[in-house]
Amino acid sequence: MSLDFVDKWPICSVLDPETLATIKKICVFGSSGNEAIYITKNDDVYAMGSNCSSCLGLGDAHSSFEPRKIEPLCKKQIKSLAYGSGPHVVACIANGDMYSWGHNGYCQLGNGNSNQGMAPNLITTNLQSKKIVQVACGSHHSLGLTEEGEIFAWGQNNCGQIGSGTTTNQPTPRKVTAIIGTRKATSVACGQTSSMALMDNGEVYGWGYNGNGQLGLGSNVNQPNPCKVQALSNVIVTQIVCGYAHTLALTDEGWLFSWGANSYGQLGTGNKANLVSPNRINSEERFVEIAASHYSHISAGLTQTGKVFMWGQCRGQSITSPMLSRFSTTDDIFATFACPQVTWRLYSVDEVPGRDIITDISKSFDDASTSDVKFVAEGREICVHKSILKIRCDHFRSMFQAHWDEDKKDVIEVNYPYTVYKAFLSFLYTDMVNLCPEEAIGLLELANSYCETSLKKECEQIIKQGITVENAAMLYAAAIKFDARELEEFCFRFALNHLTAVTQTEAFSQLDESILKGFIMKAAQAGAFKY
């Protein structure tokens, strides 16, 4: 995220460049986007804005555009932060502790009473020895997800959004067990008065208010207990987000589903009719991220090719089908087109000091007028600079030494595909990779050979986003070959989730015997062949 992006949030425009440069993570919230909490690179936590209901956690009710420290949270490494409509705020930190503050008229702070919380208060009831890894907030209720995949809920429960089987408000965290039982959740999300959970097997459950069909159950009946979204049984969901009264789900194959309220076109279906069951949004693009906020009726999605689409209520206009933007992140959409302009997640700032220098270096890649060495791959030249390559890569640092022949050459031939080697050299100039998943496999091999760990991770991410039933077995074998453990596990899980289809592909039939044996044994241990 550049400093220009931070300036798009109106409340951040009052910060000076020096302060902006220190920001590592930021959350903008409030009914008008008038409150902000940010974390600096030194892990200090600051708040600024109107301080409605003491939601800034500063110990008082004073409003100020001058940033002030939230002392109890400094140096605590906040991992997840969510806000409600009161507003109230809930945050969890690196050690698994959870804090809350702000509006508490419905016991949404989880501290056993309904008194307003002026400063961060540690939530402990029913959470002994539990580590919270994610938090989510609806209008006046809260959810916490533990390291073990358990869901705890508390606060307003007039529509059953706590999942307790009743409509009685819950003053302290209560474990959600009905229907879900011992199943493990991987993430939770909240609409205004509804709750959703994504399980580790890709199933989705919803409970609470369902007047607009936002639970995806095929009806408009409220649910005080979790109910499985049966219409998604044939897909594996990897991300779930909630808008004010609509829901989006992303599958491991890049398919996007939507359901619920659609008065502004937030379902992306091309019309404004509500849907009580999940509907796949038609798109030639493969989505890799979706975004929504219970504060608004806007939706956004990022595709595998880096395109960002938006739909729904965008600055007062109703966009009923995904519209391509010129932004590079879904966060840009919420900074510019959402109403109010709030962040849909705790956003991590990736600003790098000296970006003008980085821009100039990036532009010098493949510039024949300034280069001092050329690489030739498949008969095509790539113009680069020895000094930059030596600074950025140990392989070239060794290559360009006086006792090596390459140091004296102006042209060096390499036995790699042109697109792959150019992408590798470009990465050394830009820290970015622009390849399709199939080509990224070749780059992964090169990165593995040259011991370029960061490039290897970039390749793995690209490959993950391009996995399909047809290529899963091939990618699994490639991950093993190039010692990409995280990618190997990802491909295995994908193949396990689509086992019947994957085993019928040509790629699976071509697996090396040892890899095939290993896969079968691992699948057996995971319970794939149990009756």
Residue 431 tokens read as 């820290």
pLDDT of residue 529: 83
Q: Find the mean pLDDT for residues 48-72.
A: 96
Residue 483 tokens read as 């010692």
CA 153, CA 145: separation in Å to the nearest integer? 9
User: What is the band of 6 on the pLDDT scale with cuts at 50, 70, 90?
Assistant: low
Does pLDDT of 202 surpass 60?
yes
pTM over 0.75: yes
User: What is the band of 409 on the pLDDT scale with cuts at 50, 70, 90?
Assistant: confident
Ordered DSSP codes for 358-416: HHHHHHTTT-TTT-SEEEEETTEEEEE-HHHHHHH-HHHHHHSSTTSGGGG-SEEE-SS
CA 151, CA 164: separation in Å to the nearest integer? 12
Report percent pLDDT > 70 for the chain: 97
Q: Find the mean pLDDT for residues 236-258.
A: 98
pLDDT in tens, 295-325: 999 999 999 989 999 999 999 999 999 999 9
Is residue 236 within 8 Å of 251, Cβ to Cβ? yes
Does pLDDT of 351 surpass 80?
no
User: What is the band of 356 on the pLDDT scale with cuts at 50, 70, 90?
Assistant: low
pLDDT of residue 254: 96
In CATH terms, the superfamily for domain 355-384+414-525 is Potassium Channel Kv1.1; Chain A (3.30.710.10)
Smallest CA-to-CA distance from 343 within 11, 4, 73 is with 11
